[in-house]
């Protein structure tokens, strides 16, 4: 890098001299606009993605910055920058000493020198009139944390679930998280607006010893069935009302898919098992029979946006109608046509009964307990449930204090918050994962764990 004040002075003088020598028979167009236009970084073998950085002027009009930070651990100590201005007779870099003080000596911008952008650098550009100039500060943002790390913490509060025989956590309308438990006598609930503070609430309208496992949100209501003719619904999570069917009994609710609530039902006429769907939770349509090895209880299920642009759903594990333990991974896009991924891919083996699955960051995450060794079971699928990989790296494993269990509930809670970016309001969602409750043998858990992918905290995704 060359620190030569004379170079720029000589360059500016040459422009003025050339202009005077041309006389009146030739005119030279000059500009008094030294404004910034663009900044690009040249890629190299070690940092190929530097060229993708996009720089703009901040709201103050004086700071050149990349709002979308460069990837974690990107080196910016030796970068080849290329600046573009509306007009330029030459530009100089000034390098920081401390605070807002900059060195008096400078480096002429040549595009061939490597610049250290670990600190804010000042650049002074002269327009082609050799008189007008502007100062800019160049700030290069690099992520300070690994964006792909899942950070898990235990919420310093346990929910008093006693000897719960059934538990369920569910989010209503992206605004309120409910935790329900049944101790064999009553259904009790806690609710929270942030996942940290919880308040006990009174639940009415549910009968004694109601199983809670298939509770599902649909059309801004919560729905719950028993193994019978009744289905219960609530718009506030507290007061529940009953609706009754006659031609079939409910075995379990499955999920919400394409604007329909789906269930597994058993016909009264011949005891055959079918899928059923409803657009309002009251009127039901019965369709084709369930496949062999399809679960009727204690499975994990979730619907999610698929890579085809449609909404898909998976149903994992559970018990068959005969009570057999299943390790299947069923997939559908319409609730009618189903594919058993496990017939070709066995990476979901040893999934325990009573697991929980969520859609998060364009992946599926399943939480449970291994049936072969009793250890925590946590797997990730990047291909919509076709294949599963054990989350065994430090980036995404569960904390050591989280004990192996089944029948926990994992949910994604996304209450909206408002931030300001470049003087504009930006709506973001917290996108936190919560894992609550569960049991292992005779031990019932009521602890709360929460985790989040670091990248989900960035305003710019």
Please state the rounded mean pLDDT for residues 31-38.
94
pLDDT (average), residues 234-243: 95
Shared domain check, 450 and 305: yes
Using the predicted structure, report yes or no on whether residue 47 has a pLDDT greater than 50.
yes
User: Taking residues 365-369, what's their average pLDDT?
Assistant: 89
The pLDDT confidence band at residue 178, using thresholds 50, 70 and 90, is: very high
Max mean pLDDT range (91-105, 124-138, 426-440):
124-138
Regarding whether 38 and 186 lie in a shared domain, the answer is no
* Same domain, yes or no: 162 and 14: no
Shared domain for 278 and 405, answered yes or no, is yes
Going by C-alpha positions, the residue among 366, 365, 294 that lies closest to residue 331 is 294
CATH of the domain at 306: 2.120.10.10
Domain identity same for 135 and 162: no
SS3 348: coil
Flag whether 145 is in a domain: no
The tokens describing 68, both together, are 């979308």
When pLDDT is cut at 50, 70 and 90, the band that residue 373 belongs to is: low
Same domain, 164 and 132: no
Distance CA 54, CA 39 (A): 8
Say how far apart CA 228 and CA 246 lie, in whole Å: 10
pTM: 0.76
- Residue 80's SS3 state is coil
Range of the domain at 450: 150-457
Q: What is the β-pairing status of strands 443-453 and 285-289? A: unpaired
Q: Which of 97, 120, 139 is the last residue of a domain?
A: 139
From CA 257, how far away is CA 386, in angstroms rounded? Answer: 19
- Which of 434, 461, 428 is CA-nearest to residue 448? 434
More confident residue, 18 or 219: 219
22-33: b (≥16 Cβ within 10 Å) or e: eeeeeeeebeee
**Who has greater pLDDT, 424 or 84?**
84
Confidence of residue 98 (pLDDT cuts 50, 70, 90): low
Q: 161 in the Ramachandran plot: left (φ > 0), alpha (ψ -120 to 50) or beta? A: alpha
- Are both 132 and 157 inside the same structural domain? no
Q: Does a structural domain hold residue 144?
A: no
pLDDT over 50 (residue 378)? yes
Q: Are residues 282 and 401 in the same domain?
A: yes
What is the reported pLDDT for 45? 64
Domain stop point among 79, 112, 139: 139
What rounded mean pLDDT belongs to the chain?
84
37 confidence band (pLDDT: 50, 70, 90): very high
Q: Is residue 165 part of a domain?
A: yes
Given this model, what pLDDT does residue 16 score?
46
Q: What percent of the chain has pLDDT over 70?
A: 85
Calculate what percentage of the chain has a pLDDT beyond 90.
Answer: 48
Residues 69 and 98 occupy one common structural domain: yes
DSSP 8-state symbol, 385 = T
Domain of residue 14, CATH code: 2.60.40.2340
pLDDT above 60: residue 18: no
Cα–Cα nearest to 52, from 63, 44, 43, 61:
43
Provide the pLDDT for residue 229.
93
What is the tens place of the pLDDT at every residue in 295-351?
999 999 999 987 777 899 999 999 999 999 998 999 999 999 999 998 888 888 777
Distance CA 175, CA 172 (A): 6
The yes-or-no verdict on residue 19 having pLDDT over 50 is no
Same domain, 98 and 179: no
Supply the pLDDT for residue 417. 53
In this model, does residue 23 exceed pLDDT 60? no
Number of domains comprising the chain: 2
Q: Nearest-CA neighbor of 264 among 288, 240, 232?
A: 288
Is the confidence at residue 425, as pLDDT, over 50?
no
First to last CA, the chain: 36
DSSP labels, 186-239: -EEEEEESSSS--EEE--BSPPTT---TT-EEETTEEEEE-SSSEEEEESSSSB
234 pLDDT above the threshold of 60: yes
Task: Give the mean model confidence (pLDDT) for residues 412-431.
Answer: 57
Mode of pairing for the β-strands spanning 432-440 and 416-421: unpaired
Q: How far is CA 164 from CA 181, 363, 437, in A?
A: 6, 31, 10
In a domain, 346, yes or no: yes
Q: pLDDT at position 22, please?
A: 40
**Per residue in 112-152, pLDDT tens?**
888 889 888 999 999 999 899 999 999 999 888 888 888 89
Cα dist. 300→296, 313, 318, 368 in Å?
11, 11, 7, 10
pLDDT at 28: 59
Q: Are residues 135 and 154 in the same domain?
A: no
Q: Residue 291: count other Cβ atoms within 10 Å of its Cβ.
A: 13
Q: What per-residue confidence (pLDDT) applies to 227?
A: 75
- Whether 266 maps to a domain, the answer reads yes
What's the pLDDT band for 71 if we cut at 50, 70, 90? confident
Confidence of residue 192 (pLDDT cuts 50, 70, 90): very high
Do 225 and 101 fall within a single domain?
no
Q: Give 76 or 237, the one with higher predicted confidence.
A: 237
Whether residue 288 lies inside any domain: the answer is yes
- Would 408 be classed as within a structural domain? yes
Contact by Cβ (8 Å): 254, 263: yes
What would the pLDDT profile of 243-293 be if each residue is shown by its tens digit? 999 999 999 999 999 999 999 999 999 999 999 999 999 999 999 999 989
Boundary (domain end) residue, out of 139, 166, 201: 139
């Amino acid at each position: 890098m060359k620190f030569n004040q004379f170079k720029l002075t000589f360059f500016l003088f040459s422009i003025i001299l050339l202009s005077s020598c041309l006389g009146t028979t030739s005119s030279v167009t000059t500009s008094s606009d030294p404004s910034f236009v663009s900044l690009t970084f040249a890629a190299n073998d070690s940092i190929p993605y530097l060229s993708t950085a996009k720089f703009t002027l901040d709201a103050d009009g004086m700071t050149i910055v990349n709002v979308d930070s460069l990837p974690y651990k990107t080196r910016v100590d030796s970068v080849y920058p290329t600046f573009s201005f509306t007009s330029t007779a030459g530009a100089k870099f000034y390098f920081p000493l401390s605070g807002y003080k900059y060195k008096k000596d400078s480096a002429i911008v040549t595009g061939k020198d490597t610049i250290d952008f670990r600190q804010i650098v000042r650049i002074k550009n002269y327009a082609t009139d050799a008189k007008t100039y502007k100062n800019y500060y160049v700030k290069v943002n690099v992520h300070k944390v690994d964006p792909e790390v899942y950070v898990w913490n235990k919420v310093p509060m346990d929910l008093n679930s006693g000897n719960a025989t059934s538990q369920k956590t569910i989010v209503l309308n992206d605004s309120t998280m409910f935790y329900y438990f049944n101790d064999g006598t009553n259904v009790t609930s806690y609710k929270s607006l942030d996942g940290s503070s919880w308040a006990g609430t009174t639940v009415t309208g549910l009968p004694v010893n109601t199983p809670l496992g298939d509770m599902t949100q649909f059309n801004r209501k919560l729905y719950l069935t028993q193994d019978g003719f009744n289905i219960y619904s609530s718009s506030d999570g507290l007061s529940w009302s009953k609706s009754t069917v006659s031609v079939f009994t409910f075995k379990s609710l499955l999920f919400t898919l394409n604007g329909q609530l789906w269930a597994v039902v058993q016909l009264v006429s011949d005891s055959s098992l079918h899928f059923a769907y409803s657009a309002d939770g009251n009127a039901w349509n019965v369709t084709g029979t369930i496949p062999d090895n399809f679960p009727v209880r204690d499975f994990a299920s979730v619907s999610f946006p698929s890579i085809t642009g449609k909404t898909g759903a998976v149903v994992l594990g559970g018990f068959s109608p005969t009570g057999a333990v299943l390790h299947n991974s069923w997939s559908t896009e319409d609730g009618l046509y189903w594919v058993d991924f496990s017939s070709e891919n066995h990476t979901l083996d040893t999934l325990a009964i009573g697991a929980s699955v969520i859609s998060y960051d364009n992946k599926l995450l399943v939480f449970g307990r291994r049936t072969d060794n009793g250890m925590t079971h946590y797997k990730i699928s990047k291909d919509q449930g076709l294949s599963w990989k054990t989350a065994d790296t430090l980036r995404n494993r569960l904390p050591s204090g989280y004990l192996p269990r089944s029948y926990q509930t994992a949910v994604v809670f996304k209450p909206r918050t408002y931030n300001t970016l470049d003087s504009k309001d930006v709506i973001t969602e917290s996108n936190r994962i919560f894992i609550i409750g569960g049991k292992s043998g005779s031990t019932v858990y009521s602890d709360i764990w929460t985790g989040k992918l670091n990248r989900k905290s960035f305003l710019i995704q």
